[in-house]
């Protein structure tokens, strides 16, 4: 009966779980399009129903319409070999209203319908662009990487955290697991008692889903690190960036996310703070992390993570290293300009 109630609730709210947002936004967007007569319309998601809104709003318009996909949409759900799709399946089985059987049956069809209506699709990783090309042979794709606005980043903090300050800012959900970092931190502190005396800590800021919170606290307790781990909870962006600025190492988690790159990678790299990407070697995050100068370690390579911590501790100075690759919005602006003017979309 619980399963049946979940499916009925999904049917009543499909495709708009916010009960009417899509239609209201489409009507408002149509009004704006008639008023301003834009040459290009770009819909960005998630939430991916923004694309449905744009599709309804551009009916009858001469404007070219691009879908900007910051994360994979429904097509990934069709391939349960994808770890990200399997993680979503586990969430559905745990009772989340977002992933009913109705979602699996209808969302991929809705995705195909929207893709066929749009002029082109923008992704932020080559891996996702290739995955879409394999699924949709006639899809027109442009790949434009993420970037960062340096004006929104804080200057170097004058009061760095004592010892070896490690920070993770972001959501702990799906396959993201701090367990390897916790175990590596325990091993590092066991080998460097001076780091313990200096006040080294692992700090966590951001939303943590209930199941992940339990697993994280169990890992901390098993390692005996209750005094060396600080959970800060949800913080305003400025405060979270201040925590990052005061730290010696930023952790970026991308386990079981082969097609996505966490946007926070670009912030820490742009700030010149050493960044550790914990992800599979073949993932988009691992490739981009290596390109930007971050250190990449597989989640199973706990000893390798310990080596990163030891090198930072031995260096001692905590110097910032500017990124050698252009990763600002100014750097990618020519790509966007070329795309929106109609010259930058290539058929894959």
CA gap 265, 292 in Å, rounded: 9
User: How far apart, in whole angstroms, are the C-alpha atoms of residue 54 and residue 67?
Assistant: 9
Are 194 and 251 found together in one domain? yes
3-class secondary structure for the chain? CHHHHHHHHHHHHCCCCCCCHHHHHHHHHHHHHHHHCCCEEEEEECCCHHHHHHHHHCCCCCCEEEEEECCCCHHHHHCCCCHHHHHHHHHHHCCCCCCCHHHHHHHHHHHHHHHHHCCEEEECCHHHHHHHHHHCCCCEEEECCCCECHHHCCCCCCCCCCCCEEEEECCECCCCCCHHHHHHHHHHHHHCHHHHHCCCEEEEECCECHHHHHHHHHHHHHHCCCCCEEEEECCCHHHHHHHHHCCCEEEEECCCCCCCCCCHHHHHHHCCCCEEEECCCCCHHHHHHHHHCCEEECCCCHHHHHHHHHHHHHHCCCCCCCCCCCCEHHHHHHHHHHHHCCCCCEEC
What is the model's pTM?
Answer: 0.85
Which pLDDT does position 347 carry in this prediction? 39
Identify the residue with better confidence: 251 or 7: 251
Structural Rg of the chain based on CA atoms: 22
Evaluate whether residue 325 is within a structural domain.
Answer: no
pLDDT category at 346 given cuts 50, 70, 90 is very low
Residue 86 pLDDT level (bands cut at 50, 70, 90): low
Residues 104 and 83 in one domain: yes
The answer to whether residue 300 sits within a structural domain is yes
Mean pLDDT of 158-179: 93
The domain tally of the chain equals: 2
Say whether both 143 and 18 belong to one domain.
yes
**pLDDT-based confidence at residue 342 (cuts at 50, 70, 90):** confident
Could you tell me if 273 and 212 lie in one domain? Answer: yes
Same domain, yes or no: 112 and 236? no
* 306-315: average pLDDT: 95
- Residue range(s) defining the domain that contains residue 251: 150-315
Give yes or no for residue 205 having a pLDDT over 80.
Answer: yes
In this predicted structure, what is the pLDDT of residue 9? 64
pLDDT at 348 over 70: no
Q: Is the pLDDT of residue 46 over 90?
A: no
> Quick one: pLDDT at residue 6?
63
CATH code for the domain in which residue 157 is found = 3.40.50.2000
In this structure, the answer to whether residues 96 and 175 fall within a common structural domain is no
Q: How far apart are the first and last CA of the chain?
A: 46
pLDDT, tens digit, 9 for 90 and up, residues 172-203: 988 899 999 999 999 999 999 999 999 999 99
Residue 339 has pLDDT above 80, yes or no: yes
pLDDT reported for residue 174: 83
In the chain, % of residues over pLDDT 90: 67
Q: Is the pLDDT of residue 95 over 60?
A: no
Residue 100 reports pLDDT greater than 70: no
Q: What is the CATH number of the domain that holds 340?
A: 3.40.50
Classify residue 320: in a domain, yes or no: no
> Can you give the pLDDT at residue 272?
93
Distance (Å, whole) CA 162 – CA 313: 12
Tell me what the mean pLDDT of segment 203-228 comes to.
95
- Asked if residue 25 and residue 97 are part of one domain, the reply reads yes
- Amino acid 62: pLDDT: 93
CA–CA dist 199, 161 (Å, integer): 8
Q: Has residue 107 got a pLDDT over 90? A: no
pLDDT tens, 124-158?
999 999 989 988 888 889 999 999 999 999 998 88
pLDDT band at 80 (very low <50, low <70, confident <90, very high): very low
Task: Give a yes or no: residue 321 inside a domain.
Answer: no
323 occurs within a structural domain: no
Which of 57-71, 99-113, 171-185, 318-332 is least confident? 99-113
Q: Are residues 275 and 207 in the same domain?
A: yes
pLDDT value at position 198? 96
Examine the domain organization and report whether 57 and 161 are in the same domain: no
pLDDT top residue among 213 and 342: 213
- Predicted confidence (pLDDT) per residue in 247-262, tens digit: 999 999 999 888 999 9
Mean pLDDT, range 278-294, rounded to an integer: 95
All residues at 6 or more sequence positions from 70 whose CB lies less than 8 Å from its CB, including other chains: 44, 45, 46, 124, 263
Domain co-membership, 143 together with 200: no
Q: Is the domain of 157 the same as that of 89?
A: no
Instruction: Indicate whether 264 pLDDT > 80.
Output: yes
Residue 37 forms part of a structural domain: yes
On the question of pLDDT at 284 being above 60, the answer is yes
Give me the pLDDT at residue 18, please.
Answer: 60
Residue 322 lies in a domain: no
Whether 168 has a pLDDT exceeding 50, the answer reads yes
Task: Determine the pLDDT at residue 16.
Answer: 57
Same domain as 158, residue 141: no
């Amino acid at each position: 009966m619980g399963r049946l109630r979940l499916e009925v609730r999904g049917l009543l709210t499909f495709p708009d779980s916010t009960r009417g947002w899509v239609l209201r936004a489409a009507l408002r967007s149509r009004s704006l399009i008639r008023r301003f007569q834009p040459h290009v319309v770009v819909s960005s998601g998630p939430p991916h129903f923004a694309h449905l809104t744009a599709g309804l709003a551009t009916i009858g318009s001469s404007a070219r319409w691009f879908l900007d996909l910051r994360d994979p949409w429904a097509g990934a759900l069709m391939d349960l070999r994808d770890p990200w799709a399997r993680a979503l399946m586990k969430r559905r089985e745990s009772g989340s209203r977002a992933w009913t059987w109705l979602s699996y049956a209808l969302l991929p069809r809705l995705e195909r319908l929207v893709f066929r209506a749009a002029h082109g699709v923008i992704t932020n990783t080559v891996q996702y662009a290739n995955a879409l090309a394999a699924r949709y042979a006639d899809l027109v794709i442009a790949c434009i990487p993420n970037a960062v606005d340096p004006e929104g980043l804080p200057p170097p903090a004058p009061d760095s955290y004592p010892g070896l300050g490690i920070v993770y800012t972001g959501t702990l959900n799906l396959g993201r697991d701090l367990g390897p970092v916790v175990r590596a931190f325990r091993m590092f502190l066991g080998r460097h008692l001076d780091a313990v005396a200096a006040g080294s800590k692992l700090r966590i800021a951001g939303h943590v889903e209930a199941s992940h919170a339990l697993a994280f606290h169990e890992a901390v307790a098993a390692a005996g690190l209750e005094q060396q781990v600080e959970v800060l909870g949800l913080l305003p962006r400025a405060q979270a960036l201040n925590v990052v600025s005061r730290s010696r190492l930023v952790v970026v988690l991308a386990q079981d996310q082969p097609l996505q790159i966490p946007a926070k990678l670009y912030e820490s790299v742009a700030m010149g703070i050493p960044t550790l990407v914990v992800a599979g070697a073949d993932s988009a995050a691992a490739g981009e992390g290596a390109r930007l100068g971050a250190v990449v370690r597989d989640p199973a390579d706990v000893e390798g993570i310990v080596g990163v911590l030891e090198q930072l501790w031995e260096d001692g100075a905590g110097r910032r290293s500017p990124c050698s690759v252009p990763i600002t919005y100014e750097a990618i602006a020519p790509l966007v300009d070329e795309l929106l003017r109609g010259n930058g979309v290539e058929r894959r």
